[in-house]
Amino acid sequence: MEENTGSADLNKPMLTNKAEGCTALKLGLPKGSLQESTFKLFRKAGYHVTVSSRSYYPAIDDSELQSMLIRAQEMARYVENGILDCGLTGLDWILEQNADVVEAAELNYAKEGLRPVKWVVAVPKDSTINSLGDLNGKRIATELVGYTKRYLEKHGINAEVDFSWGATEVKPPQLADAIVELTETGSSLRANNLRIVETVLVSTTRFIVNKKAWEDKWKREKIENIVMLLKGALAAEELVGLKMNIPKAALGTLLDILTAMHSPTVSELTDKDWVAIEVIIEERRVRDLIPQLKKAGATGIVEYQLSKVIP
């Protein structure tokens, strides 16, 4: 079982300025499903983050950062209260807590990929519930209680909303008529013989900041630099670079292929009859593009991964 992460632990010296006159940014990192993808993103952005299996205080190779692992569900509250200067959590948990925080950036990644997640109303496949209106008088299980109640009220639906401590997918039909559950791919819902009735929220990861911390010049600049690198790392996730050489006589044909996507860089070579080409493209297009480039006369084609793409 995981150790208790109650608010008392948040006041440990680890999250205070290390010495008189020493400035540090208190950063909350999400514990749970987003943890590994967040650590991977930070590593790609240039921050080496490590944590032992029983620790809630990751080490980062930046002396100006002090970090703590916090459940995404609780992050917004601690940032709003100023216990943390900033943190990463989903839009869903910001809305659930009605947290008054600054959203410094939207970071479109989740546990399993670079896409938003959805909170959906789901019911058993043989349920008579086919629309939101059919939820009147029904019992709904969810972890997102506050937002769900407000959503139903907004649409004039009177239903009982119960907090679910987990395993929400198995509760219909015995323990609930419907659920409001988080899904990224829909596979867990299908595995439990459930179908989606309606999407109530589309959520992405946000980098949130305490309002007072955002007004601090040093902290704001530090946060903006971190956000720039994180966004650059995300932008590079689905891109690769291609290098190749091409005879000048075939350059026009090759540029016709490449300029449909991006303007390539053309460089002269010592052999005046040849030029070097470099271009950044979507990785998913490479398998179709390389045969075309080869056919157009390109040689020495090299594909390479990118760490960051900063506009």
Tens digit of each residue's pLDDT (9 = 90 or more) over 76-100: 999 999 999 999 999 999 999 999 9
pLDDT surpassing 50 at residue 9: no
Name the band, by pLDDT with cuts 50, 70 and 90, for residue 246: very high
Distance CA 250, CA 184 (A): 45
Domains (ranges, CATH) in the chain?
Answer: 7-113+205-236 (3.40.190.10), 117-203 (3.40.190.10), 239-305 (3.30.70.120)
Q: What is the mean pLDDT of the chain?
A: 89
- Phi and psi torsions of 29, nearest 5°: -110, 140
pLDDT surpassing 90 at residue 124: yes
pLDDT surpassing 80 at residue 294: yes
User: Given this model, what pLDDT does residue 20 score?
Assistant: 43
User: Given this model, what pLDDT does residue 261 score?
Assistant: 54
Strand partners, 102: 209
Contact status, residue 278 vs residue 264, Cβ threshold 8 Å: yes
User: Given this model, what pLDDT does residue 3 score?
Assistant: 41
User: Given this model, what pLDDT does residue 109 score?
Assistant: 86
Strand partners, 267: 276
Contact status, residue 301 vs residue 242, Cβ threshold 8 Å: yes
User: Given this model, what pLDDT does residue 18 score?
Assistant: 46
User: Given this model, what pLDDT does residue 1 score?
Assistant: 38
DSSP H or E run through 71: strand 65-71
3-class state of residue 216 by DSSP: coil
Tell which wins on pLDDT, 166 or 20.
Answer: 166
- Amino acid occupying residue 51: V
Tokens matching residue 237: 């996730």
Name the band, by pLDDT with cuts 50, 70 and 90, for residue 112: low
Tell which wins on pLDDT, 257 or 145.
Answer: 145
> Tokens 């608010």 identify what position?
7
Cβ-proximal residues to 9 (8 Å cutoff; 6+ apart), any chain: 56
Closest CA to 93 of 110, 70, 73, 114: 73
- What is the separation of C-alpha 44 from the centre of its chain, rounded to a whole number of angstroms? 14
pLDDT surpassing 90 at residue 214: yes
- List the single range of 230-234, 251-255, 287-291 with lowest mean pLDDT: 251-255
pLDDT surpassing 60 at residue 159: yes
Contact status, residue 108 vs residue 88, Cβ threshold 8 Å: no
